[in-house]
Structure 1
Amino acid sequence: MRLGMLTACLPGWDLERIAAWAAGAGYEALEVAVWPATGGRDFEASHLPVADFGPEEAERTRELLDRHGLRVSALAYYENNLHPDLTRREEIRTHLRHAVDAAQALGVPYVGTFIGRDWTKPVAENLAEAERILPELVAYAGERGVKLIVENCVMEGWHPDGYPGNLAYSPELWEWMFSLGFYLNWDPSHLTWIGIDPVETIAPYADRIVHAQAKDVELDARARQRYGFFGKTAKNGDPWDMGWWRYRVPGLGQVDWARVVDRLYEHGFTGTLSVEHEDPVWGGDAARVTQGLRIAHRTLRPLMVG
């Protein structure tokens, strides 16, 4: 098992600066964010130009990683593959294919994405639509030696009423998406706040957990008494504010990382545990973000063999 980090938390840094910092901080792998450079949401980082990724760019990237003793565990493009706007949906599909092509060029085994959801339609219609359109993307990746991995994030902020915006949040839905050929980028933080013990999900799905994200979550039971499980109704312009929980870096929330890492080892996980930093306490500027990444490293590194 290797300890890595998702580069999306440092959107203002280029890949060279991130690689130098990560290697110096003791990280072994990078899950590289590859959103288009469009100036969109602040977590949409663009650390590789996958839409225009030729042999020279691939060679420069390999040289950079070799220089710092790092590997790329996955490319990360987490977008809504069931977007209700068909023009936007096709843009997402096209960029996902570019990410797969870049992964093939670099010898990276995984590209991360979401199933997503058309929030204007019921879940049953979304599942049927996914079965119709998503196997082509899985096949495109497979033909290039790449697996598509899906993070089990609820993406409640994508839905106008705060309901799940990514239909991959529960083991029931994992089994459905596995039937389409997807693999899992397993993240315990999302499972924790929706009431699922993350440790208990490792053994049954170990053969499909090929990459894992390390993100913690802090629950506020008193606030939940006011808002209920579904969270705030009045979000004051922030669709992600649920009111009774927030993401933290590993070690500052409720996830039992000793049990998580031990259970991953027990069931043969040999991939990358990649820190996904979305902690509002250790966010806001690069100095605080990098301190959060150091806290995560201090939490996780002692639990890992080697």
Structure 2
Amino acid sequence: MKLGTFTVLFSKMNFEEMLDHVKAKGIEAVEIGTGCYPGNAHCNPQELLENETKLRAFKKAIDDRGLTISALSCHANPLTPDRSFAEESHNLFLQTVQLAEKLDVPVINCFSGTPGDQENAKYPNWPVVTWPTEYRDVLKWQWEEKIIPYWKDAGKFAEDHNVKIALELHGGFSVHTPATLLRLREAVGEVIGANFDPSHMWWQGIDPVAAIKILGRENAIYHFHAKDTSLDQEHVNMYGITDMQPFENLQTRAWQFRTVGFGHDMKTWADILGTLRVVGYDYVVSIEHEDAFFSADEGFTKAVNNLKQIIPQEPLPSLWWN
């Protein structure tokens, strides 16, 4: 496996300064945002697609430092009722797929998106209960009329460009659990897989090791985010896991994103990486830092140091003693 990072946390640095910084910390692969939620501080896909000279310079800057691109990330919501943002999200997806093909990047990271509850809806709707039955009806309509049709077309486009789609299982979006990922994958095909992030499993009450085994049986993990979560049971009792307080409310939130090792111990993280290896994932472990307790660089550095202790860096060995 290679140790990587999602470079949007260093968006205030210019591109080459960012590459030098993460390289000096021991990073081997970069995951780069192309727009929408992650922003495009380090990669403007339209500009690179239209200018071959800039594209070559972009790739050379990465190659010269001995780095690779693990994924291009266009997290957005192409299914939102907000037509302007849906169009922006969709166009960014198309550009990101085309750019990934030109850069020989095998996977792009996305969100599945969340539709509204009807054609004339104003906002996305995320049903999470089956009663009252209106929620069940909304969910059925969303999947049959919006989610599956969109991703069938998007999946075909990605396949035509030799790129796989890794959807992050993120609360608030239609694909947020192993079951919803596998439902979409069954409808669309193996072009769809997971950008697996344990932090989103923990707050939903899902054991990441068990989830990796479930998805691993289907060879459905295409990328991995290293991010932790801490839960405060006293505040879970008060607010539940769907706590709607801002992340700034450090004293009362039910759960918080943490840097690796500050929500769960390193034995837990070693089990996660070991299970990834068991199911055949031997790609990049990409640090995503969203820890409100640490600055960007401090949280990132602590994650690097913790993961270096446990990440398998050499190929799976033969059993020399057997």
Does the pair score TM above 0.5?
yes
Report how far residue 243 of structure 1 moved.
Answer: 2.0
Q: Which moved more, 1:196-205 or 1:52-61?
A: 52-61
Q: Cα deviations across residues 141-199 of structure 1 (Å, max 9, x unaligned)?
A: 11111111101111xxxxxxxxxx21111121011121223111001111111111010
Q: Which residue of 1 aligns with 2:128?
A: none
Q: Which residue of 2 aligns with 1:84?
A: 81
Q: Which amino acid aligns with 2:292?
A: P
Number of matched residues?
284
Report how far residue 45 of structure 1 moved.
Answer: 4.5
Q: Which residue of 2 aligns with 1:161?
A: none
SS at match of 1:79: coil
Q: Which residue of 2 aligns with 1:190?
A: 200
Is the Cα contact below 8 Å between 1:4 and 1:28 reproduced in 2? yes
SS at match of 2:17: helix
- Give distance in 1, aligned partners of 2:64 and 2:175: 37
SS at match of 2:87: helix
Output the TM-score relative to the length of structure 1. 0.87
2:285 to 273, 276, 282: 273
SS at match of 1:89: helix
Q: Which residue of 2 aligns with 1:4?
A: 4
- Give distance in 1, aligned partners of 2:301 and 2:31: 17
Is the Cα contact below 8 Å between 2:169 and 2:196 reproduced in 1? yes
Report how far residue 236 of structure 1 moved.
Answer: 6.8
Output the TM-score relative to the length of structure 2. 0.83
C-alpha change, 1:191 and 1:236, in structure 2 (3 Å) is closer
Q: Which amino acid aligns with 1:148?
A: I
Residues 1:124 and 2:140 are matched in the alignment: yes
State the Cα RMSD in Å: 2.1
C-alpha change, 1:242 and 1:267, in structure 2 (3 Å) is farther
C-alpha change, 1:88 and 1:12, in structure 2 (3 Å) is same
- Give distance in 2, aligned partners of 1:280 and 1:237: 7
Report how far residue 57 of structure 1 moved.
Answer: 2.0
Runs of 4+ in 1 over 6 A off after TM superposition: 236-239
Q: What runs of 5+ residues in structure 2 fail to find an aligned partner?
A: 119-137, 314-322
1:150 to 167, 180, 184: 167
Structure with greater Cα Rg = 2
Q: Which residue of 2 aligns with 1:210?
A: 222
Q: What runs of 5+ residues in structure 1 fail to find an aligned partner?
A: 155-164, 283-287
Q: Which residue of 1 aligns with 2:134?
A: none
SS at match of 1:3: strand
Is the Cα contact below 8 Å between 1:62 and 1:106 reproduced in 2? yes
Is the Cα contact below 8 Å between 1:249 and 1:295 reproduced in 2? yes
Q: Which amino acid aligns with 2:204?
A: I
Q: Which amino acid aligns with 2:270?
A: A
Residues 1:245 and 2:255 are matched in the alignment: yes
2:156 to 114, 130, 139: 139
- Give distance in 2, aligned partners of 1:174 and 1:203: 14
SS at match of 1:229: coil
Q: Which residue of 2 aligns with 1:173?
A: 180
- Give distance in 1, aligned partners of 2:70 and 2:247: 35
Is the Cα contact below 8 Å between 1:33 and 1:45 reproduced in 2? yes
Is the Cα contact below 8 Å between 2:34 and 2:92 reproduced in 1? no
Within a 5 Å distance, the mapping from 1:91-106 to structure 2 comes to: 91-106=88-103
